[in-house]
Structures are given as structure tokens and as C-alpha cells.
């Protein structure tokens, strides 16, 4: 009931749409570290993120829209191999992503286990293949667990193909950022993501998602050594069922599930301790068929998000 590896490792939205923002955060960290005579690289990198949002949708399936929704995550990665051929490097990543709710699916509801606020805890392990030319392939195993007992655990295999086109966009169109297209294939192997209750699915499904996130450096806050670059991005995502993913209690499966479009502003926070990043944004979510029924009959929602992350 959460995100693919690409989206998880980037924080909460993006899903997969923060490429140039990450570069800005890295530059801020490098500036803060300039006082060091030499900064040895650690073999393990990571990111700790904390996100607050007004709605929690997972691939168009509403999870919560009331109360406080707080989503902390921790990801770690390390390089396993690097070379000069078509495959330039291989990385191993692990991640823990969580969602804590004060609304009906959390403390305000009927969770069977304590703490009832702990709605979701996902464990993820995956490999990232980095190819020459900017293409990446993520292959991961994800366990979607529900600590408060409202739903059963779902196991899924995810494949995400992404492309870093920032250099091409800068060279051909003069843009500071790229479109960052991604294609996601999610295959449920045990359990399913459709919610219990009416309507609900019963079979493991296959999800296909497409996304882009055009981004550019929009402005600079402050001046001199206190100058902070801001990045604006416009993520656009759409989700489809390749079979039994958006089904209802009768087995009717919607091929088209949802699409969303948003605007996010991200900026680094200068610090000697890690690479801090703040992101603020909103998204419009459009739902189809069974997803609309799950969302109290509403086909359209606005969401707001605030996220703080630190890379190390």
C-alpha cells in the first residue's frame, strides 16, 4: 500500500520528481563541507525523511484523508560494483517507510493491535542498475505490513525504469532540469492492495504506472554565501491495471485507475551535518471507477504535502 523503490528512496512523492532538487541539496552540503581539508566518502549513504500530508493515496487507492498523517522513512544504499561498460554501476538499497495516522485508520479507528496509530510499515530491498546514458533499472522486493492489524501483509516485486534527461534538456532546450520519465511495474505475489470492505478485490494484481516530473531552478533565496537555490517541479503520474489491480468485490477490474498532477518547491537548508532538504507542494488527484467508490464517491481531491529530509 505504498510506493515503489524509486518513490520511497526519494521521499514520499515521487514518487518518483526531485532530481534537480537533490543536486541542489548536494551542492549545499558540499559548500558546508568546504571547510574540511578532506572529506572521505562513506561506503554507505542514506536519507532520513519526515513527511506530513493531508491525504494518503497509494496508486489512486485512498488510505486516509482525516487527522494527522505522518510518514517517516529511512533508506540506506551502497555501491556493489562500478565499471566503464554499458552497465556503469550496481547499487544495493534497503528502506523502511511508515505511515502513522490519528484518523479512522489509526488512533481514531479500530485497529486490532497497539500502537493503533501505526497504520503501515513497509520494508524494501532492491538493486539499482545504472546504465550509460542516464538510464536506471530498479528491481525490488517490498513487504507492505499493517502493524495495527487493519489489513493483511502484501508482498510485491517492483521494477522501475527511469531516465535522467537533465543533460539532454540543458543541451537541446536550455532547461536547467529534465523531465525524469519513469515506468513502474508492480507485481503482487502474496496478498493484494485493494482495501477490505465494499468494494474490495480478492486476487493478486499487476500495476503499470507512468510518470514524468519536469523541473527547473526557479529562483535563489538570499545572497552570497547564504544564497539558496530553489527548484520547482511538476510531477504527473498515471496508473493502470494489467490485471486484477483495480478490481471490486464482483471481480470487475478498471484498466485505468487514476492520474495526478502537482507542483512542488524544494530548497536545500545549509548545514554542516548532512544534506538537508525542504519540500512543499500540492497535488490534484483524479480517480476512476472503483477508486472513486473507495474515496466516498469523490473523483477529485486536492492534497497538500510538507517534507523534510537529510541525506548522509
Cβ atoms of 46 and 297 closer than 8 Å = no
Confidence of residue 95 (pLDDT cuts 50, 70, 90): very high
CA-based end-to-end distance of the chain: 27
Instruction: Give 221-257 pLDDT, tens digit per residue.
Output: 767 666 788 999 999 999 999 999 998 878 889 999 9
pTM, 2 dp: 0.84
Q: What is the DSSP letter of 284?
A: E
The total number of structural domains that make up the chain = 1
Instruction: Give 3-39 pLDDT, tens digit per residue.
Output: 444 444 343 343 433 333 333 333 434 444 444 445 5
| Placement of cell 500502537 in the chain | 115
- How far is the C-alpha of 272 from the C-alpha of 266, rounded, in Å? 19
Element (H or E) spanning 221, and its range? strand 215-221
Report helix, strand or coil for 69. Answer: strand
Full domain range(s) for residue 176 = 5-311
- How far is the C-alpha of 56 from the C-alpha of 63, rounded, in Å? 5
Reference 307, options 278, 286, 283, 268; nearest CA is 278
Q: What is the pLDDT of residue 92?
A: 98
Q: Say whether pLDDT at 212 is over 80.
A: yes
Q: Say whether pLDDT at 86 is over 70.
A: yes
Q: Say whether pLDDT at 289 is over 60.
A: yes
Domain containing residue 290: CATH number: 2.40.160.40
Amino acid at each position: 500500500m505504498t510506493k515503489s523503490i524509486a518513490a520511497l528512496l526519494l521521499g514520499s512523492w515521487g514518487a518518483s520528481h526531485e532530481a534537480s532538487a537533490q543536486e541542489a541539496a548536494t551542492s549545499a552540503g558540499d559548500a558546508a563541507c568546504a571547510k574540511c581539508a578532506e572529506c572521505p566518502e562513506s561506503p554507505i549513504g542514506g536519507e532520513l525523511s519526515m513527511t506530513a500530508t493531508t491525504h494518503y493515496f497509494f496508486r489512486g487507492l485512498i488510505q486516509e484523508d482525516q487527522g494527522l498523517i505522518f510518514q517517516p522513512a529511512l533508506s540506506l544504499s551502497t555501491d556493489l560494483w562500478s565499471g566503464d561498460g554499458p552497465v556503469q554501476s550496481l547499487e544495493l538499497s534497503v528502506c523502511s517507510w511508515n505511515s502513522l495516522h490519528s484518523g479512522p485508520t489509526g488512533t481514531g479507528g479500530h485497529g486490532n493491535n497497539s500502537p493503533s496509530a501505526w497504520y503501515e510499515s513497509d520494508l524494501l530491498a532492491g538493486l539499482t542498475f545504472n546504465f550509460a546514458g542516464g538510464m536506471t533499472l530498479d528491481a525490488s522486493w517490498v513487504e507492505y505490513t499493517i502493524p495495527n492489524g487493519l489489513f493483511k501483509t502484501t508482498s510485491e516485486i517492483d521494477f522501475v525504469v527511469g531516465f535522467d534527461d537533465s543533460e539532454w534538456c540543458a543541451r537541446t532546450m536550455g532547461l536547467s532540469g529534465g523531465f525524469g520519465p519513469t515506468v513502474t511495474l508492480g507485481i503482487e505475489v502474496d496478498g493484494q492492495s485493494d482495501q477490505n470492505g465494499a468494494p474490495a478485490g480478492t486476487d493478486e494484481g499487476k500495476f503499470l504506472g507512468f510518470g514524468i516530473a519536469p523541473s527547473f531552478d526557479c529562483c535563489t533565496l538570499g545572497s552570497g554565501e547564504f544564497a539558496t537555490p530553489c527548484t520547482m517541479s511538476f510531477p504527473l503520474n498515471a496508473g493502470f491495471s494489467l490485471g486484477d489491480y483495480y478490481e471490486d468485490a464482483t471481480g470487475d477490474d478498471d484498466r485505468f485507475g487514476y492520474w495526478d498532477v502537482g507542483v512542488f518547491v524544494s530548497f536545500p537548508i545549509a548545514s554542516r551535518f548532512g544534506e538537508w532538504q525542504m519540500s512543499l507542494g500540492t497535488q490534484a488527484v483524479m480517480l476512476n471507477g472503483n477508486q472513486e467508490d473507495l474515496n466516498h464517491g469523490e473523483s477529485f481531491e486536492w492534497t497538500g504535502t510538507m517534507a523534510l529530509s537529510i541525506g548522509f
